[in-house]
Amino acid sequence: MTKAKILAGVAAILGALSLCGAAYKEVNVMDFGARGDGKTDDTVAIQTAIDQGGSVYFPPGNYRVKQLQFYWGDANGDPMFQYHGNRAKIVGLPGEHREYLIDIAGQDATFSGLEFQGLGEFDKTYDTLARIHTRGGRCSIDKIFFDNCVFRMNNKALLVGIPSDNVQNFAKISEFFFVNCWFGHCQKIMDNQGGRFVDAIFNSCHVNPVMPKKEKIDLDDNYIVKLNCGTARFTGCNFMQTGMNDNLDVAGWAIIFADKNAYSTSVSIDSCTLELKRGVKWMDGSAGEFHINGNLNGFCGFNTAKEPLFSVGKNCRGLIDLNSYFYRRDIPQHGPSPLLVDARQSPEFKILIGDTSVFSAMGGKSESLLTRILGGKYNFSDAAVAMLYGNSPVTAAPGASAMVKFAHDGNSEDYPSHRFAGLYKDGWITVPPEGLEDAWLEVFTDWNAPDAKAEVVRETALPCRLTRGSRQVKVESRPEAGEFDANQEGSTFFRGIVPGAAVSGDGIPSGTTVSADAFSKNAFNITPGATVDGSRELKFLTPLAPVGRKTVQRIALGTLLPGDRIGIRLLAGKTPAKTIDNGSRLTLTGRSGLTSSR
C-alpha cells in the first residue's frame, strides 16, 4: 500500500468517526469529578465518564489513574467512540502490579491528543500502557485510531491481543492506526501475544525506545516490535534508540517474528529512518515477511559485530525484501559488520534484494552484497556465479574425454565470504540453491590437438528406482512444477535430460544413454537396462553447446536448476589432447527467479 493510499484511508476513517461522534453528547471528565491535578486518584471519575459512551473530552491536566477500561457497548448499540484531549496526560499510580494502564476491548474507537504515561521505563508496576484485544461475544474490532497521542515511560507501550482471545473462531482486530504519535522511553513498543490482527499502521510516528540497564539480557524477550500474526506497516517514521554509546550487548532486536501458525505475518517499512543497535530476528520455526520500500535513510549504528542485521532461525519460512536504497553505518569501535543476512539454518528462506544499494563504513573498501549473505535463497541480477581463470593442464587420451580445469576461482580466493565461494570444484560449477535464469557462459580456452573438440555440458543428479534387467528408470523425488517441458517434436524431457544423455551410477553399465522412447512425468527408459535393484543416485550428462578454440564465446544456457553442475569437456580425436594456458578464463552469470509472494 502506498503512502497516499494510507493517508486517504486515514482521512476516510476520521470522517466516518467524526460523523458517528456527532450523534453523541460530549461528556467532560471533570463534570464527573476528575481533578487532573497530578495528585488526585481520578480513576472512578474518568471511568464513570467513559461508561456514558459516545465522545469523552479530557481538558488540560495530569490525570492520575490506576486502570481504565474502554469497553464496547452502549444504549444505542453503536460501537463507535471518541476520546480526545488537549494537553491531557493519563498517568499511572504507584501501587500493586497491574496488567495495563488502559484496556481497549471489543469496540471501534478513536483517541486524539492524549498522553498515556507509566511510572518509568524500567518500572514493573504496569505490564503495558495500552492493551488492545477482542472481548466477550464481540468477535472482531474493525478500526482503532490514535491521532497525535503519546505513549511513554513504561517497559512496554502496546500489547495487541491476549492469549485468551479466541483464535480458533477468528477473533481479530482488523486495523489500528497511529498517526503523528510518539513512543518514548519504552523498551518495547508493540507485542502481539494472542488473537489475530490484520493491520497495524504507523504513519509519521516517532519511536524512541530505550535499552535495559542489565548487563545480560534474554535477547529473545527484548525487542521493539514482536509479531505472532498480522501486519505492521511503518510509513515516514523515525526510529532512534537512546544510549547509542551504551553497552551494545544489551540492545534488543528491532523486530522479532514469532509466528509459528502460518498466519500472514509481515512488516513493511516505507521511507523511514532507523538508528537502532540490533536488527531483525526470526525465531526458530517462525514465519514472516520483512519489506522495505522507498528511499530508506536508516539501518544506522547496528551492533552487527556479533549478529547479522537479519538473523533467521531454524526452519523458518518467509522472506526479506530490500527493494530500495538504504544506508547503513557501522559502529567504528566494532569495525565493519560481517554479515547482512544469516539464513544458514533455513535454506528455503527467500532474500530479495532488487535495486538495493548499501553504503557502509568499510574502511573505504566496497564489497558486494553477495559477500555478506549466507544461507537461504537469494535473488540476484546478472551476478557472476563463477569467475575462473588460468589453466590447470589436463590430458584426454585418444577417443576419450576430460573435464577442462581452471587454476583460480576468483570468488573463493578474492572474496572467501562470497555467497558463491566454493561452487567451483574439479572442473564443475554447481548451480546455487536459487537456480539461474537467463544464464550465460563466457569462455576462452585452448588445446593442442587440432582434431580435438570441446563442449559445455550439464550434469544432473537424481534419486532413481532401478529394477534389475529393466530399462525403465523411475524418478523417486516428485518433480517441481515446470520441470517437465515439451519439445517441438512433442516428446517430453525432465530437468533438461534429453534422449542421448549419458547415464552413470551404481548398477549402470558403461556407455548407457537415455532412450528416446517411453518418456513420462515420473519415468523414462535407458539403454541398456540396469544391473541392480533398489534406489540409486544416477548422474545424467547432457551436452549443451560446442566451444570453439582460441576464441571468446558467449553461450546462452537459459534456465539452470539448483544442484545442476556445469563444466567444459575436452573430447580427444585420434591423438591425445591437452589444454593450454593461453589466457584461459570462464565466467558464468545469471539471475535468480525468486520473487516476492505479495
Q: How confident is the model at residue 8 (pLDDT cuts 50, 70, 90)?
A: low
Greater pLDDT, 241 or 37: 37
The model's pLDDT over 147-162, given as tens digits with 9 standing for 90+, comes to 999 999 888 998 887 6
pLDDT of residue 11: 52
Number of other residues whose CB lies within 10 A of the CB of residue 215: 8
Greater pLDDT, 121 or 566: 566
Phi then psi for residue 356, to 5 deg, are: -65, 140
Task: Return the closest-CA partner of residue 174 out of 234, 218, 222, 132.
Answer: 132
pLDDT of residue 521: 63
Q: How confident is the model at residue 170 (pLDDT cuts 50, 70, 90)?
A: very low
pLDDT of residue 248: 58
pLDDT greater than 60 at residue 245: no
Instruction: Choose the final residue of a domain: 153, 186, 210.
Output: 210
From residue 220, alpha-carbon distances to 210, 231, 258, 309, 462 in Å are 16, 20, 10, 15, 40
Task: Determine the Cα–Cα distance for residues 13 and 15; give it in Å rounded to an integer.
Answer: 5
Task: Return the closest-CA partner of residue 293 out of 597, 2, 5.
Answer: 2
pLDDT greater than 90 at residue 71: no
Is residue 251 in some structural domain?
A: no
Number of other residues whose CB lies within 10 A of the CB of residue 76: 10
pLDDT greater than 70 at residue 281: yes
pLDDT greater than 60 at residue 410: yes
pLDDT of residue 517: 77
pLDDT of residue 433: 87
Mean pLDDT of the chain: 80
pLDDT of residue 486: 37
* Region 14-24 average pLDDT: 46
121 Cβ contact list (under 8 Å, min separation 6): 153, 154, 155, 185, 186, 187, 210
For residue 111, count CB atoms less than 10 angstroms from its CB and return exposed for 0-12, middle for 13-18, buried for 19 or more. Answer: buried
Is residue 227 in some structural domain?
A: no
pLDDT of residue 217: 60
Q: How confident is the model at residue 371 (pLDDT cuts 50, 70, 90)?
A: confident
Domain count, the chain: 2
pLDDT of residue 491: 36
Percent of the chain with pLDDT over 90: 40
C-alpha grid cell for residue 49? 465518564
pLDDT of residue 143: 81
pLDDT of residue 580: 92
Compute the half-sphere exposure of residue 37: CA atoms within 13 Å on the CB side of its CA: 6
* Region 17-21 average pLDDT: 42
* Region 338-355 average pLDDT: 82
pLDDT greater than 90 at residue 294: no
The model's pLDDT over 30-61, given as tens digits with 9 standing for 90+, comes to 999 999 999 999 999 999 999 888 899 999 99
Task: Return the closest-CA partner of residue 230 out of 264, 207, 189, 271.
Answer: 264
Q: Is 352 helix (H, G, I), strand (E, B) or coil?
A: strand
Is residue 275 in some structural domain?
A: no
Is residue 473 in some structural domain?
A: yes
Greater pLDDT, 236 or 521: 236
Q: How confident is the model at residue 484 (pLDDT cuts 50, 70, 90)?
A: very low
Q: How confident is the model at residue 122 (pLDDT cuts 50, 70, 90)?
A: confident
Number of other residues whose CB lies within 10 A of the CB of residue 12: 10
If you write DSSP's letter for every residue of 202-222 in order, what string do you get? EES-EEEE---S-SS--GGG-
The model's pLDDT over 321-334, given as tens digits with 9 standing for 90+, comes to 876 655 555 545 44
Instruction: Choose the final residue of a domain: 155, 188, 210.
Output: 210
pLDDT of residue 75: 38
pLDDT greater than 60 at residue 24: no
Task: Return the closest-CA partner of residue 400 out of 187, 201, 575, 551.
Answer: 575
Query: 44-49: which pairs have CB atoms within 8 A and are 24 or more residues apart?
Result: 46/90
Helices and strands of the chain, counted as H and E runs = 3, 50
- For residues 452 and 577, the answer to whether their CB atoms sit within 8 Å is yes
Is residue 424 in some structural domain?
A: yes
Q: Could you list the residue range(s) of the whole structural domain that residue 149 is in?
A: 3-210
Q: How confident is the model at residue 100 (pLDDT cuts 50, 70, 90)?
A: very high
Is residue 130 in some structural domain?
A: yes
* Region 128-137 average pLDDT: 77
The model's pLDDT over 433-476, given as tens digits with 9 standing for 90+, comes to 888 889 999 999 999 999 999 999 999 988 899 999 999 988 88
pLDDT of residue 457: 95
C-alpha grid cell for residue 562? 539448483
pLDDT greater than 60 at residue 4: no
Is residue 338 in some structural domain?
A: no
Q: How confident is the model at residue 209 (pLDDT cuts 50, 70, 90)?
A: confident
Q: How confident is the model at residue 597 (pLDDT cuts 50, 70, 90)?
A: very low
Greater pLDDT, 573 or 341: 573
Instruction: Choose the final residue of a domain: 175, 210, 245.
Output: 210
Is residue 238 in some structural domain?
A: no
pLDDT greater than 80 at residue 250: no
pLDDT of residue 488: 32
The model's pLDDT over 303-317, given as tens digits with 9 standing for 90+, comes to 455 677 888 999 999
pLDDT greater than 90 at residue 548: yes
